[in-house]
Amino acid sequence: MKDMIRTLHPEKKQGVNISREKYEIIRKAILAILRAQKEMSFMNLSRAVEKEVGKKFEGSVMWYVTTVKLDLEARGEIKRVLNSRPQLIKLLK
């Protein structure tokens, strides 16, 4: 059985179980991109992660970015910039 992780949600909704390997790939990409950019829109972040992980990633990159982004928000590693349109994401740590 694959090593799994239960994600968290910033609004205390139920998280999902996903592969720890895929979680780490997406998490590392999100954090590396935000370290370089400081702050960016969710769509640009998603596109940058897709470019970073490339075609070798199996599954919907957009779905994983959304899921991992919510988890990182709940864990206090990143945050949404309040009242931003489009939604902006920035690194906290």
pLDDT digit string (tens) for 16-74? 999 999 999 999 999 999 999 989 999 999 999 999 998 889 999 999 999 999 999 99
CATH number of the domain that residue 41 is part of? 1.10.10.10
**What is the Cα–Cα distance from 1 to 60, expressed in whole angstroms?**
21
Residue 78: alpha-carbon gap to chain centroid = 9
Host domain of residue 86: 4-91
Total domains in the fold of the chain: 1
Average pLDDT over residues 1-18: 91
What is the end-to-end Cα distance of the chain in Å, rounded?
Answer: 32
Q: Is 12 helix (H, G, I), strand (E, B) or coil?
A: coil
Instruction: Flag whether the pTM goes above 0.85.
Output: yes
